[in-house]
Amino acid sequence: MVIRRFPFALVCVAAGLVLAVAMPYGIATGSTAITFETVIAAFLGPDLATSFGLEPANKPMTKIILDLRLPRMILAALVGGGLAVVGGLLQTATRNDLADPFLFGLSSGAAAGAVFVITVTGDFLGIWTLPIAAFLGGLLSASVVLILVTRTIHTGPERLILAGLAVSFLFTAITNYLVFAGDQRAAHSVVFWSLGGLGLARWETIGFAIASFSLLMSFFAFRRRPLDALLAGDDTAHSLGADPKEIRVEIFVVCAISTGLFVALVGVIGFVGLMIPHLARAVVGPLHGAMLIVCALFGAALVVLSDIVSRLLLAPQELPIGVVTAALGAIFVIFLVTKRRVH
């Protein structure tokens, strides 16, 4: 995939502007239509809004804007940016352009944990039951992957792909079994959650998304040079003082924890980690210092925009956001394959 390279600062500014426009629009969009003036007034508060000549937002509207839609947009940006960074890291670790969190079972395990709660046990821990079960399921699948990784990592990246696929298929089979064997009345909740959604976006849950995103970016900041060395191949990485086996295990641990937290909050949102790293490398190059930052910005913009589309297509009904990202991902992969065959 060849796209003209652009200056890193210009790409960041452009992506930031898209987010700056999309997030307020996402706050104003929904089953209850809200004007931009009302959104601004809610942010300013009654006194400042009046001083700027705006009509103050009433309490119900302020609650919708500040307690529901604002955390939803922040969560969408954090999850989109985080999943894109996870995809970029996994593609580096495996040297496979199709690697993403779902290929390695990191999301299917979390999905199995959530479906187990929905269809079998119910919300025995209240609102936190679903996120905790999903996170534990993600950790379980990640542990299986890590065991396989430590046994196969010396044989080359292609074995990592096979190990991840095996785990992904295993936990997908468990999820499907739970769907059919569990409470059929919960089928709608299972389908919606397994396709992704931002319904759990609350200020109480934002901290987990921030922690997950911070973990990814901290890892990238401290391990940027070994990551760049890995791009040149294992032999070259060794000569540059990096241990490919060690850095790959670190990548999987960090990606597993982060993906588990993201999926526990929003369900399964596919293709973000597959598409965005390709676009980021195409516009700023493969070195991680610029590429992963652009991944975070592009991923955030993609999920925010996808969430807006998911609320508009079948309004007032909300479409699972994973449907939108899957459609975009399919188009992207077809384009990618077609361009490579042409060249």
Judge whether 329 and 270 are in contact, CB under 8 Å.
Answer: yes
Judge whether 304 and 80 are in contact, CB under 8 Å.
Answer: yes
Q: Is residue 3 part of a domain?
A: no
Q: Is residue 121 part of a domain?
A: yes
What integer pLDDT is reported at residue 3 of this predicted model? Answer: 52
Gyration radius of the chain over CA positions: 21
Report the distance separating Cα 86 and Cα 225, nearest Å.
17
Indicate the SS3 state at residue 289: helix
Exposure b/e, 179-190, CB count within 10 A at least 16 = b:
beebeeebeebb
pLDDT for 79 beyond 90: yes
Place of tokens 């009904």: 317
Domain region containing 82: 8-342
**Averaged pLDDT of the chain:** 83
Indicate the SS3 state at residue 320: coil
**Which tokens sit at 150?**
């430590």
Q: Of 126 and 84, which is predicted with more confidence?
A: 84
What integer pLDDT is reported at residue 343 of this predicted model? Answer: 45
Report the distance separating Cα 139 and Cα 121, nearest Å.
19
Q: What is the pLDDT of residues 6-42, one digit of tens each?
A: 788 999 999 999 999 999 999 988 777 788 888 888 8
pLDDT for 215 beyond 90: yes
The fraction of the chain above a pLDDT of 90, given in percent, is: 24
Q: Is residue 272 part of a domain?
A: yes
30 closest CA partner among 69, 71, 57, 66: 69
* Average pLDDT of the residues in 194-216: 87
Highest averaged pLDDT of the listed ranges 55-69, 84-98, 295-309: 295-309
pLDDT for 342 beyond 70: no
What secondary structure, in 3-state letters, does 174-191 show? HHHHHHHHCCHHHHHHHH
User: How far is Cα of residue 307 from the mean position of the Cα atoms in its chain?
Assistant: 12
Q: Is residue 160 part of a domain?
A: yes
pLDDT for 4 beyond 60: no
pLDDT for 265 beyond 50: yes
Domain count along the chain = 1
The CATH code of the domain that includes 48 is 1.10.3470.10
Q: Is residue 2 part of a domain?
A: no
What integer pLDDT is reported at residue 182 of this predicted model? Answer: 66
Q: Where are the alpha helices (DSSP H) in the chain?
A: 8-28, 36-44, 46-51, 59-63, 70-94, 108-116, 129-152, 157-181, 187-194, 203-222, 224-230, 234-239, 244-266, 272-284, 288-312, 321-342
pLDDT for 270 beyond 50: yes
Query: How sure is the predictor about 149, in pLDDT bands with cuts at 50, 70 and 90?
Result: low
Q: Is residue 167 part of a domain?
A: yes
pLDDT for 186 beyond 70: no
Exposure b/e, 298-322, CB count within 10 A at least 16 = b:
bbbbbbbbbbbbbbeeeeeebbbbb
pLDDT for 153 beyond 70: no
Q: Of 211 and 134, which is predicted with more confidence?
A: 211
